[in-house]
Amino acid sequence: MTSSSDSTPGTAPTSPSRDRRPLRPLTARGRHETHRVASPLELFFDLCFVVAIAQAGVELVHSVAEGRAGHGILNYAMAFFAIWWAWMNFSWFASAYDNDDVLYRVVTLVQIAGVLVLAGGISRAFTHQDFFLVWLGYLIMRLAMASQWLRAARWAEGAERRMALRYSAGVLLCQIGWLGLVVLPEPARPWVFLVMVIVELSVPLYAEKVYATTWHPHHIAERYGLFTIIVLGETIAAATSAVKSAADEHNALGELLPIAAGGLLIVFSAWWIYFVVPIHGHLHSNRESFLWGYGHYVILASTAAIGAGLEVAVEQAVGRTHLTALEASAAVTLPTALYLLTVWALHSRHFKVGIAQQTVLPTAALLVICCTFLGDWAVFAAGIVSALAVATGVTLTARTAAGGSPNRPTEQAA
């Protein structure tokens, strides 16, 4: 995680794509580069993370469907944090230091290999509390990340060099701490997780005290947006697969269609609500970026959990699980409400005009929770509420724009 500096020694003002040498100095890029967009390597990196997210979602479905919701949610939170934090470490580093040379690409591919090892260990972590493969995959990713920071330190001077060394040391020390999930008794592991989350989140705060790296606001906003789209896509894919399987085996279209329709409305509304505001304009310094970046753990985890919840609702509808309709509905409505509230807190509230606009998403979240008690129609009702929240936001935006508000319409919507 990083902060904002307008100009620093050694900063490259233009894209490294103009320099085609196989190996180049790993120096900071300019914060105000024009036309800065996600690279093909970054997109590939994101897609590979979806494998791990899908595995965590599958295990969450199994745990909830078997009546072990508390166990499943805890393990899901732990697995998703490992996935999200590794992704975030790379993304903010790349926004400031991506020189796209051969060595940078190779090290990034090594990180992707670590992601796949981690994904392979998620099932054992859920079912047997065996975190060795998860830890090993994380070790591969973190060693690669530490080497990137050491390489940046080699080309830096003064405060920037101290910052890079702090990041590298913090990453390696935290990896030792995560070993507690492997060697300590099972009852101690949730506490290890809690302590290590706090330590991990503190590393950027500590490193950034001495130097502010030059991440690019538009680029980092795009990176988060693209990853959110990928997670939304995974949610749709998982729900579609569940509906298809249930329809083929049970021919229960009457029970499945409301879930499918409601799920689509929820996902479509989630996309609209997230992308309706130009959040890059809000990211100016650590004061905004740390909270915004960290808060995306909840946004992304709840997004993936919606997909898992839809699968649970499908299984309950066709009698594959002993869960009640209330329990299955809650698996969808609670993460949906959490998503709406978090997107409002991190995104939308900064662009609202007046009480009416400020209360759209919090009110929608409350109504979605109330939909939990509607039985078999709960998911469909939650989808309608989500869609109405979007429609209300659009209507209020249009009225504000027609009234001559100085704010741009795109900065006021739902």
Q: CA-to-CA distance for 253 and 240, rounded, in angstroms?
A: 13
Q: Indicate if the alpha-carbon torsion angle 222, 224, 226, 232 is positive or negative.
A: negative
Based on the fold, state whether residues 50 and 79 are members of the same structural domain: yes
Based on the fold, state whether residues 267 and 385 are members of the same structural domain: yes
Please, which residues bridge with residue 61 across strands? none
Specify the pLDDT at position 20.
67
With 0-12 / 13-18 / 19 or more C-beta atoms within 10 angstroms meaning exposed / middle / buried, residue 280 is: middle
Contact in structure between 3 and 208 (CB atoms under 8 Å): yes
Based on the fold, state whether residues 231 and 185 are members of the same structural domain: no
This prediction's pTM:
0.86
Give a yes or no: residue 54 inside a domain: yes
Give a yes or no: residue 148 inside a domain: yes
Give a yes or no: residue 5 inside a domain: no
Based on the fold, state whether residues 186 and 263 are members of the same structural domain: no
Give a yes or no: residue 140 inside a domain: yes
Based on the fold, state whether residues 83 and 145 are members of the same structural domain: yes
Which of 188, 207, 226 terminates a domain? The answer is: 207
Least confident range from 18-22, 219-223, 327-331: namely 18-22
Which of 154, 174, 207 terminates a domain? The answer is: 207
Q: Domain containing 366: what range?
A: 217-411
User: What pLDDT digit, counting tens, does each position of 226-260 carry?
Assistant: 999 999 988 888 888 888 887 777 676 777 889 99
Residues 6+ apart with CB under 8 A from 414: 272, 273, 276, 348, 360, 361, 389, 390, 392, 393, 394, 396, 397
Q: CA-to-CA distance for 387 and 378, rounded, in angstroms?
A: 14
DSSP per residue over 267-307, as a string?
A: HHHHHHHHHTS-GGGG--SHHHHHHHHHHHHHHHHHHHHHH
Based on the fold, state whether residues 366 and 306 are members of the same structural domain: yes
Specify the pLDDT at position 403.
64
Q: For the chain, how long is the longest CA-to-CA vector?
A: 68
Give a yes or no: residue 290 inside a domain: yes
Which of 178, 207, 236 terminates a domain? The answer is: 207
Please, which residues bridge with residue 12 across strands? 29
Based on the fold, state whether residues 235 and 184 are members of the same structural domain: no
| Mean pLDDT estimate for the chain | 86
Based on the fold, state whether residues 174 and 226 are members of the same structural domain: no
Residues 6+ apart with CB under 8 A from 252: 246, 317, 318
> Tell me, what DSSP letter sits at residue 9?
T
Based on the fold, state whether residues 344 and 400 are members of the same structural domain: yes
Based on the fold, state whether residues 370 and 281 are members of the same structural domain: yes
Based on the fold, state whether residues 282 and 364 are members of the same structural domain: yes
List the one residue out of 120, 124, 102, 116 whose CA is nearest residue 47: 116
Q: CA-to-CA distance for 379 and 131, rounded, in angstroms?
A: 34
Structurally, how many domains does the chain consist of?
2
Specify the pLDDT at position 395.
85
Based on the fold, state whether residues 201 and 238 are members of the same structural domain: no
User: What pLDDT digit, counting tens, does each position of 29-84 carry?
Assistant: 888 888 888 899 999 999 888 888 888 888 898 888 888 888 888 889 988 998 99
